[in-house]
Structure 1
Amino acid sequence: MRYFLFPATLVALAACEPTVPDSGSGVGFGDYDSYQQQRAARDAQLQGQAVPPAGAISGEASTNVGAPQSAMKPQGAAADVAADTQAVLDATRVNSGQKPVDASPSNPAPAAVLNPAGISKENDFNAVGAQRSIEDDAQRRAALKAQYQQVEVTAVPKRSGSSGPSIVEYALKTSHPVGQSIYRRVGINMQARYQKNCAKYPSPDLAQSEFLAKGGPQKDRLGLDPDGDGYACSWNPAPFRAARQSG
């Protein structure tokens, strides 16, 4: 019984053993010699054709292959784009009255414009050179330089007449800020009177000038300075002081 089981086991193992492929065969094709023959035939076919066979490229491209450039016509969407482009060029030609420039390598180079119309003679080197020389320009510069006059800095003259007080002079004489009470003010409804009277002046400068002309800053007959800082109707002397410091 033992001797009978041993051969049966060898037969079962042999059936389960995978088949070893032939090393002479290629992967995905027949033997290597057949592959070499097919490759040589394919190379010979490609060398004998200047254009790939039908099916290698789209029908739209193969339609114009080998045809002269003048016979090539766009197909499908390309034809629509060409038609739209031509329509735009035609409209441009009608609008400006000039033919659009065709940027083609076969076109001749544009002529250089050496002296465009409308340029002034002062900007035309040839025209200026024909009219005067470098020596003439040197003489003109010397004549202009001789006419220069240097004005010495002098003090600002004082104002004459009775045109009223100067708000600039008042701003430079004072140093306290806006809102600091310096002068005593007494009255009824001072704030309401202040708003009513200040509305009559188109600017704070005019209000301050009138305020000083009527006895300010010590007195406020017009009710333009209820807080007693000496500045009427929100007038601010800071810009005048800053101008003196920057100068």
Structure 2
Amino acid sequence: MRFLICAAGLAALTACAPAVPDSGAGVGFGDYNEYEAQRQARDAQLAGNALPAPDSVSTETLGPNGTTQQGDAAEIAAETQAALRERAANSGEPVVHADPSNPQPQTVTTAGGISGETNFDAVSAERSIESDAALIAQNRAQYQVIAPEALPSRNGDAGPNVVQYALSTSHPVGTRIYKRGGINQEAKFRRNCAAYASPDQAQIDFLSKGGPERDRLSLDPDGDGYACGWDPRPFRKAVGG
């Protein structure tokens, strides 16, 4: 009986006694390893070298040896640069490459797009063989043939014809054919030739005033029959002479 009383008292004392903490659990943390990890993280944060969470910056996968797959990243960067260059060369528009997954191009059917002349159904709906025959007959009725006419002849008031004169001569420029005389011919030549708009005009006036035999204005001081540097060779060449 005494034994039972002693056992009951011991059980009561055991229930009331405070629990002894685990010496390995530490204070305020689960275990020593967790404490050490928290301490290192805090030290790194205080030193300005806090490490980000594993997936907070990049989601790159790791290679077989735990290294980042840099080859994939470099390939992605190269493809991005190539796409940007293609877009810049295409007036800023993205380049569409041939691919079975591309959407089907839209067919242009408006009046400003592809002509309906290549579509037999469209043409047959607008015209028929009979209407085309009538249009051809209408065009033939309006067709006119203009007969060639002779060129009008020159009258005596048109002045000398420099083309005809050029073809009637054959001696080279600068060859003396006609006699010339007088004083200050060179000075008269420069002064009087400057009054004409072109050598053709000077030659016409030269011929109309008695040239090439006479040269009252000293337009042809070398006596070749060509006034103020006028050249008959282009006219001869035009007719194959």
Bin of the TM-score, shorter chain as denominator length: 0.5 to 0.7
**Residue identity in the other structure for 2:112:** G
- TM-score, with normalisation over the residues of structure 1? 0.54
d(CA) in 2 for partners of 1:88 and 1:221? 78
In the other structure, the counterpart of 2:180 is 185
Deviations 1:9-54 (A, max 9, x none): xxxxxxxxxxxxxxxxxxxxxxxxxxxxxxxxxxxxxxxxxxxxxx
Matched, 1:160 2:158: no
In the other structure, the counterpart of 2:144 is 148
Cα deviation, residue 130, structure 1: 3.4
In the other structure, the counterpart of 1:39 is none
Deviations 1:47-88 (A, max 9, x none): xxxxxxxxxxxxxxx949xxxxxxx98546434313423544
Deviations 1:136-185 (A, max 9, x none): 3344344434423141352x322236342221232233333322322111
Cα deviation, residue 195, structure 1: 3.0
In the other structure, the counterpart of 1:69 is none
Unaligned runs of 5+ in 2: 1-61
Residues 237 and 111 of structure 1: CA distance in aligned 2, closer, same or farther (over 3 Å): same
Deviations 1:180-221 (A, max 9, x none): 322111122323432333233232111111212222112112
Instruction: Pick from 103, 107, 112 the counterpart of residue 113 of structure 1.
Output: 107
Instruction: Pick from 179, 200, 205 the counterpart of residue 205 of structure 1.
Output: 200
In the other structure, the counterpart of 2:164 is 169
Residues 176 and 234 of structure 1: CA distance in aligned 2, closer, same or farther (over 3 Å): same
Instruction: Pick from 190, 200, 224 the counterpart of residue 229 of structure 1.
Output: 224
Residues 178 and 112 of structure 1: CA distance in aligned 2, closer, same or farther (over 3 Å): same
Identity of aligned residues (%): 43
- TM-score, with normalisation over the residues of structure 2? 0.55
**Residue identity in the other structure for 2:147:** V
Instruction: Pick from 67, 79, 84 the counterpart of residue 82 of structure 1.
Output: 79
Residues 141 and 174 of structure 1: CA distance in aligned 2, closer, same or farther (over 3 Å): farther
In the other structure, the counterpart of 1:16 is none
d(CA) in 1 for partners of 2:211 and 2:103? 82
Higher Cα radius of gyration? 2
**Residue identity in the other structure for 1:118:** G
Measured on the aligned residues, the alpha-carbon RMSD in Å equals 3.8
8 Å CA contact 1:217–1:230 kept in 2: the answer is yes
In the other structure, the counterpart of 2:51 is none
**Residue identity in the other structure for 2:219:** L
Cα deviation, residue 91, structure 1: 6.4
8 Å CA contact 2:108–2:114 kept in 1: the answer is no
d(CA) in 1 for partners of 2:89 and 2:104? 20
The 3-state SS of whatever aligns with 2:227 is coil
d(CA) in 2 for partners of 1:121 and 1:232? 62
Matches of residues 92-103 of structure 1 in structure 2 within 5 Å? 95-96=92-93, 99-103=94-98
Unaligned runs of 5+ in 1: 1-61, 65-71
